[in-house]
A and B are shown apart, each in its own frame.
Chain A
Amino acid sequence: DTGVSQDPRHKITKRGQNVTFRCDPISEHNRLYWYRQTLGQGPEFLTYFQNEAQLEKSRLLSDRFSAERPKGSFSTLEIQRTEQGDSAMYLCASSHDYQNYNEQFFGPGTRLTVL
């Protein structure tokens, strides 16, 4: 297991298009988190899952954003009708309830550019 992976690494899209990102957590990690990082800022929490249940959503997660983790393994984050303000790095992290005090391990991120 090589860590958290995210796909794609880069995405360029036109305003108004829909995009979907995928995150594969570390095997057997039951918690999965999504963060967004804009230039010059630290990552900001978007949402997280415990297994397949989405337990918390930030107010940053507008109606255009939806996340799923259907089988409690990989997760997808979809943004509908993208806006230029959605341009950011989208980070995924995973952790295990009974390992390392739930230390979160981060993936490389998906960089979204909305033209």
Chain B
Amino acid sequence: AQSVSQHNHHVILSEAASLELGCNYSYGGTVNLFWYVQYPGQHLQLLLKYFSGDPLVKGIKGFEAEFIKSKFSFNLRKPSVQWSDTAEYFCASRWSSASKIIFGSGTRLSIRP
């Protein structure tokens, strides 16, 4: 079955620390990959997406992710986090442009001011 795994359930960092959240997806041929963010009390928002081309994708708010096909991974990174990055982060994938999205279980990011 198609699946997405996020390795970290809860990550706590200090402001200005670097961030890397792990994500692995199950093999399913051509894949679209996403990172969504859900700030407290707000709805899901798209941070970045990968469809094809350059495996290093840049998103909003200084986030980036790297698609490594050989490792089935799509890790999210940010060089210096801010308190406002406190949120839940979801890695997700889909196996065609018109199909459902499969979400990981999420990583809660807490930033100490």
Contacts and interface: CB of A to CB of B under 8 A. Distances in A.
Partners in one complex: yes
Interface of A: 31, 33, 35, 40-45, 48, 50, 56, 58, 91, 97, 101-104, 106-109
A33 B98 CA distance: 11
30 contacts: A33-B100, A33-B101, A35-B101, A35-B103, A40-B105, A41-B105, A41-B106, A42-B92, A42-B104, A42-B105, A43-B44, A43-B90, A43-B101, A43-B103, A44-B103, A45-B101, A56-B99, A58-B100, A91-B43, A91-B44, A97-B98, A102-B97, A102-B98, A103-B49, A104-B101, A106-B36, A106-B44, A107-B43, A108-B42, A109-B43
B106 A40 contact: yes
Contacts, number: 49
A42 B43 contact: no
A101 B101 contact: no
A106 B101 CA distance: 12
